Amino acid sequence: MPQSVAGPEIERLIQLLARMPGLGPRSARRAALQLIKKRDTLLGPLAEAMRIAAERIVVCSSCGNVDTSEPCTICRDGSRDASMLVVVEDVSDLWALERSGAVSARYHVLGGVLSALDGVRPEHLNIERLVERASDPAVKEIILALNATVDGQTTAHYVTDALRHLGLTITRLAHGVPVGGELDYLDEGTLSAAIRSRSAF
């Protein structure tokens, strides 16, 4: 935008910032100015952190997590329950589960879900390696922690079929009312699932 008034360096910075998720052209300009104002405390350090990340981050060949070591910190962590594998769609889901502290096991990142619409087929996902890892005699249970969307559930069914011959316990996350959630705002499907899976009080 300020093509003629600011140098090409600023323009390029704005263009690249606008490609970040959550930033549009207008907020990218605002972000660029803020960064320039905090040149020494934010712009410089952020540039360096990005350079290091770009240089060192690798995708774990075992589970698909991103880390600066190979295999990743989780795969190397011997204190985790080796009898379970938690299958997730994306690294962000892995991070979310780790924040919850709900499970201390290893993960398997599929790298997406099957989608006829987006042309995502089984060979595009990290399923082959999952079957390989699930064949380890130590593994007893596969937890399918996939999103409760149509594509997520289709993928859950496909993965279940691919693992069936191993005779493992395959589980999925419970459906129900989110903690802190109000019934009035929930869809019928969630409410039906919450009623079906009700428990003694």
For CA atoms 13, 15, 21, 22, the dihedral sign is positive
Nearer to a copy of itself, 77 or 166 (CB): 77
CB of residue 56 to a copy of itself, shortest distance in Å: 6
14 burial type by CB count under 10 A (0-12 exposed, 13-18 middle, 19+ buried): buried
Give me the least distance between CB of 59 and a copy of itself, in Å please: 9
Most distant CA pair in the chain, distance: 69
34 binds a copy of itself (CB under 8 A): yes
Cα distance between the two ends of the chain = 61
Closest CA to 88 of 114, 75, 107: 107
Instruction: Give the separation between CA 155 and CA 151, rounded to whole angstroms.
Output: 6
What's the min distance (Å) between Cβ of 127 and a copy of itself?
Answer: 19
Binding positions for a copy of itself, 69-108, rule CB under 8 A: 69, 72-74, 90-92, 94-95, 98-99
- Residue whose C-alpha is closest to residue 152's, from 122, 191, 187, 114: 114
Residue 181 or 189: which CB sits closer to a copy of itself? 181
Residues 43-72 that bind a copy of itself (CB under 8 A): 43-54, 56-57, 65-69, 72
Q: Does residue 6 touch a copy of itself according to CB under 8 A?
A: yes
Binding site for a copy of itself (CB under 8 A): 1-2, 4-10, 12-13, 16-17, 19-23, 27, 29-36, 39-40, 42-54, 56-57, 65-69, 72-74, 90-92, 94-95, 98-99
